[in-house]
Structure 1
Amino acid sequence: MEANKWTRPDLGNIRALLDLYSVSDQAQRESILALARQSREKGWWAKYQEIWRGSLPGFEAEASMISMYENLRVPGLFQAADYATAIFKGSQVLDDDQIHRRVEARLARQGVLHGETPPTLWTVIDEAALAKAVGGPSVMRNQLQHIVEVRARTSSCRYCRTRSALTPRWTAIHDLGLPGTGRSEPRLHRDGDE
């Protein structure tokens, strides 16, 4: 503590502190020791430390709400496996094993959405991200369906519409149940079919 360095709690030190503070209730002592043991367990992302260098997966694992905006691609928490594969292949700097490992990590990250108490997601995806033909039509069709499925399990997903004379008819997600809209069913919307 004095060196301002974070370390995992030592159970011997925790017991000594419990004695020092005269915590004699055995249930309370065991509860505190269980928390200390739990803090020593590594999260799922530890086996992907060559990919997750920051704290994002840990923050997401503990979050009650996640808000995100993406303008260039579908957010990682919403990516289907074939879409993520196409994204990584598009970089043209990774070999097949590296791509497989990154896709595996990305899909493992999505496990946060399937836990006992998944976070509420509030997501805005720019139309441009949905308009890119990442991996081709079948990959994009699967990706759009995957977004609908993820949205059905979570909370709100909207897309930000781009209007211009050059905008073709994009297939997109539109108004997927933002609280207060009265709409709870996920829908696919095609620009121009209004």
Structure 2
Amino acid sequence: MSVFVHDGDLPDNLDFGSMVAVDSETMGLNPHRDRLCVVQLSSGDGNAHLVKFDGISYDAPNLKKLMADPNVIKLFHFARFDVAVLSHYLGVEVTPIYCTKIASKLVRTYTDRHGLKDLCRELAGIELDKQQQSSDWGAPTLSEAQQTYAASDVLYLHQLKTKLDIMLEREGRTLEAQAAFNFLPIRAKLDLMGFENMDIFSH
């Protein structure tokens, strides 16, 4: 595994192919209060690219172009949060989307454990270390431990998607999964508007 850290944007010459795994690290879970610090990406080749933001400028044309590219699937775990954060700070609508957490909830109905660590353990035989999850992502320099943690959040998503796609097909829920993925940009927009805790479909 190799981890590459970039300040403020992706290099011009990077090609992630037709599908890129994406995750983000923030100062907390409130997009309006807690700034975006890091966006990590991987093409599934064992390498991870980390874009680090200083909290002042989010002018990242290469990253924005990739996030909005209709020909590149953006692969997340719990896309709802990341898509909202990327929309709020980068001003871009992320599309198209695949979310391993939604896929897991649709097919792994035999468990209520749908975290990335649980999926990696069961579907990829990989044990993730989550120790750095609550560390200071706004620090001027990312520690080696933070870099390794951030990378691990995107390195295995391609493998998980392959396994989950087989399960979705087997259980006849592929179309429902895709419809849920398609709705995610709207769900993220509703969250940013203040409707995150309201079921707008209820009576």
TM superposition score normalised by structure 2: 0.29
Q: Which has the larger radius of gyration?
A: 1
- Between the two structures, name the one with larger relative contact order (CA 8 Å, sep ≥ 6): 2
Q: Larger % of helix: which?
A: 1
TM superposition score normalised by structure 1: 0.30
Q: Larger % of strand: which?
A: 2
